[in-house]
Amino acid sequence: MTAVFVLDGKRIRTLDDFWRVIMDAFDSPGRQYFGRNLDAFADCLSGGPGHPDVDDYMVEWRDHEVSRDHDHLGYPETVRQLELQQARCHPSNRTAVAARLAAACDQHGPTVFDQLVEIFENRAPGVLRLQ
């Protein structure tokens, strides 16, 4: 039987909200949480720390349109995340992050929502159901 983990899009307005909601959905006794960043989330979906305790599962992101909204996981949140990343990234990465930040400020390139969906598609194909 397929386990279904539900994400309530009405509760996801920032990337930090997404981390809380997905960790709550995947929660089980003794769960080891993944780091709150996109790379750690990708590792989680590939079987790393935080991965669900079942092999056969589906993630239903209900009301995903609310999360995807321009003011939530759209460009404003993408800009905020890239500003945080730029402040703490290695100096050799600052130019690349600055370019992504400039593009996001102009509302070009992938948003945080797009990046999360891409991680699901690449690391756990067929698991995500947007509703």
Residue 45 pLDDT > 80: yes
> Considering only CA atoms, which of 52, 100, 99, 56 is closest in space to residue 78?
100
The domains of the chain are located at 3-69+112-130, 75-110
Is residue 35 very low, low, confident or very high in pLDDT (cuts 50, 70, 90)?
confident
Q: Does domain 3-69+112-130 have CATH number 2.60.120.10?
A: no
Is residue 30 very low, low, confident or very high in pLDDT (cuts 50, 70, 90)?
low
Is residue 28 very low, low, confident or very high in pLDDT (cuts 50, 70, 90)?
low
Distances (CA, A) of 62 to 16, 83, 100, 103, 120: 18, 29, 29, 29, 15
Taking residues 97-121, report their average pLDDT. Answer: 97
Taking residues 110-117, report their average pLDDT. Answer: 97
What integer pLDDT is reported at residue 93 of this predicted model? 96
